[in-house]
Every structure is written in structure tokens, then in C-alpha cells.
Structure 1
Amino acid sequence: MEKVELKWLRGLKFLLIDSENHQVLLDSTKESEGQREGFKPIHLFMAAIAGCMAMDIVSILNKKRENLKDFLIEIVGERANEHPKRFVKIDIKFKINKEVNQKAIEEAFLLSKEKYCSVLHSILNKPEINFYFE
């Protein structure tokens, strides 16, 4: 089981802590009563997709002994205008140095997308989500 805890600090500021005590600060915009001192949750959602796919792709390319020097993922999300303002479209752009074999990139991408990226598959396959109050 994976576990994280989200601790309220003040205002709309929260501290996200994982089981190894890594920490990420969450906050909101000033328009939403936040102080803009941390990530917005929607950006962490985007970062989770990018991070998962990046780790898969880099790992696969390294195993193929590709000459990986530069790797960047840009994610742009378009959100609905009305609440809950969910994403209606997400564009993901991969930027990889030209020395890496194009076929190796495509294979690594497909393996991440179709087999390995647990974040992407959790989104696409809608996990059961339960809520509890204490």
C-alpha cells in the first residue's frame, strides 16, 4: 500500500508528507485565499503524470544504452470553465536530445503509456475511491 498524509498548516497551505518523510508544500492563488507559496494540487496532478512517464522512459532508454543528455516534459492542461474545472484536455510534449534513436524513444514511450506508468493507468482505469471521516 502507498500512503501520503496531508497536514493543514494555515489558510490554504498544506504539507504533503510521504512514508519516507519527503515533503511538498501545497497552496493556492491569492484569488482563492492562498499565498502562492506552494504547488497547486492541479499542478501536482500534472507533475505526477510527467514524473511517472519520465522515470519509465529514462529508465528504458538507459537500459538500451542510448546517449541521453537532455530530457524535458512539458504538460499543458485545458480546464473546464465551470466547477469542478476538471481537465478537458491534456497535451504532453517530450523533448529529447537528437542523438537518441527515434525508434528507441517511440518504444520507451509506448511501454510507459501502455504498460508501466501507474499514474496514467490509474487515471484511465478509474480506481475505486473510498472516503472516511474520523
Structure 2
Amino acid sequence: MSHTIKAVNTGGMAFEIEQDGHTFTVDAGPSVGGKDQGPRPKALLLSGLAGCTGMDVASILSKMKMPYNTMTIEIDANLTDQHPRVYDKIHLQYIFKGDNLDHGKIEKAINLSQDKYCGVTAMLAKTADISYEVLTE
């Protein structure tokens, strides 16, 4: 599988990105010449991580027949001070709400995502220490 991405500068620091039939804008903040018309490209890596692992975990828990009401993933990441600024620490919080949640199944699903299935985790782990915790409500 391959992806083709097209980025067109729409003025200033903004780019319209076309990806697999979807279009969105990335931009910089005003302090560096942007107009804040969209998310920052680097932060989209974290969005990709949340989506990738979230889809894995949802799929695995479905196969395990482990229902939940909601799953939320929150990410806190640290950027290095020196250029090129990269994420060196990434912490994920998987927050589950539901009745009779099976913590063992949740942990197993997350471990499978983190260690085997999520390609975004695998890529980011080359530069960052990735940790996670599970919270249930």
C-alpha cells in the first residue's frame, strides 16, 4: 500500500493537503508568520498516533466482544529544544467509560496495538519514549 499526498501553498505558511480524496489545511501560528487556519503538521503526527492505536484497540476489543460506552485517547508529548525539534517523550492516556469493563482485555488490546499493529507507534518510537496508562470511569 502506498499513499500520495499533495500539498499546495495557499498563501503565507498555509498549505491545502490532499490525501486519499480528503482535503484539509495545515498552517503555522501568527508568531511564526501563519494565520492559524489549521493544525500544525507536527501535531498531526500525534493525531495519527491517536487514530491508529484507537482503531486498533476498537477492532481488537470488538473481536474480544468487550463492550464499552466510550474510548478517549489523550496524548501529551514533549518536543526537544534543539532543531530539528522532534518528540522525545509521548504519553497516551486511554480513557474508557462503560459498565463491567474488563481491564485485562483492555490492556491486552492496547499492548497488541502498541507492540504489534500500530505503524505510527512503530515510527514515532524511533525518536521518542512512548508510554501509556489506562483510566476507567
Task: State the match for 1:117 in structure 2.
Answer: 118
Q: Any conservation in 2 of the 1:62–1:68 contact (CA below 8 Å)?
A: no
Task: Answer yes or no: is 1:4 the counterpart of 2:5.
Answer: yes
> What letter matches 1:29 in structure 2?
G
CA distance, structure 1, for counterparts of residue 35 and residue 126 of structure 2:
34
TM-score in terms of structure 2 length: 0.84
TM-score in terms of structure 1 length: 0.86
Task: State the match for 1:15 in structure 2.
Answer: 16
CA distance, structure 2, for counterparts of residue 26 and residue 39 of structure 1:
5
Task: State the match for 1:131 in structure 2.
Answer: none
Task: State the match for 1:132 in structure 2.
Answer: none
Report deviation, 1:81: 2.0
Deviates more, 1:77-86 or 1:32-41: 77-86
Report deviation, 1:98: 4.5
Task: State the match for 1:57 in structure 2.
Answer: 57
CA distance, structure 2, for counterparts of residue 90 and residue 125 of structure 1:
12
Report deviation, 1:50: 0.8
What SS is found at the alignment partner of 1:28?
coil
Q: Count residues with an aligned counterpart.
A: 125
Report deviation, 1:115: 0.9
The one-character-per-residue Cα deviations of 1:45-97 (angstroms, maximum 9, x if unpaired) are: 11011110000001111122212211111111111222222112111111011
Q: Any conservation in 1 of the 2:56–2:117 contact (CA below 8 Å)?
A: yes
CA distance, structure 1, for counterparts of residue 43 and residue 75 of structure 2:
10
CA distance, structure 2, for counterparts of residue 24 and residue 13 of structure 1:
10
Deviates more, 1:46-55 or 1:79-88: 79-88
Identity of aligned residues (%): 26
Task: Answer yes or no: is 1:40 the counterpart of 2:40.
Answer: yes
Report deviation, 1:41: 0.7
Report deviation, 1:125: 5.3
Once superposed, what is the RMSD of the aligned Cα atoms?
1.5
| Unaligned stretches of 5+ residues in structure 1 | 127-134
Task: State the match for 1:73 in structure 2.
Answer: 73
Task: Answer yes or no: is 1:87 the counterpart of 2:65.
Answer: no
Greater RCO, 1 or 2 (C-alpha within 8 Å, sep 6+): 2
CA distance, structure 1, for counterparts of residue 71 and residue 102 of structure 2:
13
